[in-house]
Amino acid sequence: MVLFNTCCIRENADQKLYGNLGHMKALKDVRPDLRIVVGGCLAQKDKSIIQQRAPYVDVVLGTHNLASLPRLLREAETGPAFEILEQTEVFPSALPARRKSGWHAWVSISIGCNNSCTFCIVPSVRGVEVSRRTGDIVSEVQELVADGVVEITLLGQNVNSYGRDLDGTPLFAKLLRALDRVDRLQRVRFTSPHPKDFRMDTVEAMAECRTVCEHIHLPVQAGSDRVLKRMKRAYTRKRYLDKVQMVRDALPEVAISTDIIVGFPGETEADFQETLTLVEEVQYDSAYTFQYSPRPMTEAATYGGQVPKEIVQERYERLTSLQDAISFRRNQRHLDAIEEVIVEGPSKKDPARLSGRTRTNKLVHFDSGPAPEGSFRTVRISKVHPHFLEDSGRAFLRAGAQAPVLAARRRTSGEATCSSCN
Ligand code: SAH
Ligand code: SF4
């Protein structure tokens, strides 16, 4: 069986799927017992188009019915099986998972999204926001930890509104605190908080919870109020900057990353300049930068003023070179610092070295003897680059639960907390 789990957030994923299905046709001709399955957002968006364009696909299922896959495969014994539902009825948390990593796990806390950003196809293909019960999340994390997981990343389109559909009030900060009590869990990350819903209670939980890493991904999308309004992001540049200040006041060493779209319809050079000045002002550690692509079922796709491709490309290059310079500057703050990393495996740049990630989500390549994935090492940063750090001495095994330098940097309301005493 070959299963394509698809994404349709940007245009190029669409094109990839149909190209890949073309290759599968040749394989299916010589192996009629091969089962081809297409699932995920693109299947949800394209519905019957997949079977029209690739009639040899055996199963098409959408984003709301992953659990139906075994049944659909059985049905496919007698002919193509197709099932797309419009809403998730049961949170798919009970599904057994096979995880690639023994030490890290992605944990879904909510699915869907209740916002209506005009560029975004997610609400159409993922439906309304549904939160998973806190008890279920905590139990899953406990089981993961019992299996050797030390780091989790909580997933949701707008993690800060987690729980609103359960209790009428957001419960994300409470969830972070509940997970912080899970014995032997070392690191908690989350993605993404929406800036409009990112509040002090979450910042306090980030600062006070031993496990929550000093990194926040806070997607801004654009620096101009005019563009933000046309995107329906529900915050202004000033409100966004206030949120950045709020998190830096509580966690001075926090690393901040973001998502930015270049070439949103109607974006003028003056608007784009405001994105550049915002990037300068915030000094992001890193940014995911995207060229706007019109998506079906979105409001922005109907807007006038689509920006010509060559202008988008040119703005994109100016933005990425500015961000690279800032990332390099931000990374220089780590020179000579002693940092704790979790070993991710051999370095992709040089397999004789290892790679690991700091709590601030910085990738570090370092010299070391063999070390199992998921183990902790303490490194001293001797060289920095825009996208990674290096330690060319030999990393040593950590002594405590957390590197002392980082522990001392945590601060809540002016009070230093030391994780080894928590
Ligand atoms: N829920 C998250 C975003 C998830 S989508 C949030 O609101 O922040 C991930 C990123 O893809 C977005 O932040 C945006 O920068 C980018 N993206 C989404 N739709 C896009 C489009 N039509 N064109 C280009 N980039 C897009
Ligand atoms: Fe899309 Fe994120 Fe906006 Fe939801 S909040 S509509 S997922 S960009």
Q: Read off the pLDDT of each residue in 216-239 and give the average, rounded to a whole number.
A: 98
State the ligand closest to the CA atom of 290: 1
Asked if residue 405 has pLDDT above 50, the reply is no
Check whether domain 338-401 has CATH 2.40.50.140, yes or no:
yes
Q: How far apart are CA 125 and CA 112, in angstroms?
A: 8
- Give the model confidence (pLDDT) of 242-278 as tens digits: 999 999 999 999 999 999 999 999 999 999 999 999 9
Give the total residue count for the chain. Answer: 422
Q: Mutate which of 259, 264, 288 to test ligand 1's pocket (most atoms within 8 Å of Cβ)? A: 259
Predicted local confidence at residue 400, as pLDDT? 39
Residue 115 dihedral angles phi and psi, to the nearest 5°? -90, 175
Asked if residue 418 has pLDDT above 60, the reply is no
Amino acid at the residue 419: S
DSSP track, 225-293: HHHHHHHT-S--HHHHHHHHHHHHHH-TT-EEEEEEEES-TT--HHHHHHHHHHHHHHT-SEEEEEE--
- Give the model confidence (pLDDT) of 31-52 as tens digits: 999 999 999 999 999 988 998 9
Q: Read off the pLDDT of each residue in 4-14 and give the average, rounded to a whole number.
A: 88
- The alpha carbon of 123 and the centre of ligand 2 are apart by a number of angstroms equal to 7
Beta carbon of 10 within 6 Å of any ligand 1 atom: yes
Residue 147 dihedral angles phi and psi, to the nearest 5°? -90, 5
Predicted local confidence at residue 99, as pLDDT? 83
Predicted local confidence at residue 404, as pLDDT? 36
Predicted local confidence at residue 93, as pLDDT? 67
Beta carbon of 120 within 6 Å of any ligand 1 atom: yes
Q: How far apart are CA 343 and CA 356, in angstroms?
A: 4
- Give the model confidence (pLDDT) of 308-339 as tens digits: 999 999 999 999 999 999 999 999 999 999 99
- Give the model confidence (pLDDT) of 235-245 as tens digits: 999 999 999 99
Angle between helix axes 172-180 and 134-146 (nearest 10 degrees) is 30
Over the Cα atoms of the chain, what is R_g?
23
Rounded to the nearest integer, the mean pLDDT of the chain is 90
Ligand 2 pocket (Cβ < 6 Å) reads 113, 115, 117, 120, 122-123, 157-158, 194
When pLDDT is cut at 50, 70 and 90, the band that residue 394 belongs to is low
Asked if residue 371 has pLDDT above 70, the reply is yes
Residue of the CA atom closest to atom 2 of ligand 2: 157
Predicted local confidence at residue 395, as pLDDT? 58
Report the nearest atom of ligand 1 relative to the CA of 298.
Answer: 22
Predicted local confidence at residue 320, as pLDDT? 98
When pLDDT is cut at 50, 70 and 90, the band that residue 363 belongs to is very high
The fold for domain 92-332 equals pyruvate-formate lyase- activating enzyme (3.80.30)
Give the residue extent of every domain in the chain: 2-83, 92-332, 338-401
Q: Mutate which of 110, 120, 231 to test ligand 2's pocket (most atoms within 8 Å of Cβ)? A: 120
Report the nearest atom of ligand 1 relative to the CA of 157.
Answer: 1
Q: Are 410 and 416 in contact (CB under 8 A)?
A: yes
> What is the reported pTM?
0.91
Report the nearest atom of ligand 1 relative to the CA of 219.
Answer: 8
Residue of the CA atom closest to atom 1 of ligand 2: 120
When pLDDT is cut at 50, 70 and 90, the band that residue 421 belongs to is very low
- Give the model confidence (pLDDT) of 65-122 as tens digits: 988 999 999 999 999 999 999 887 677 766 787 888 999 999 999 999 999 999 999 9
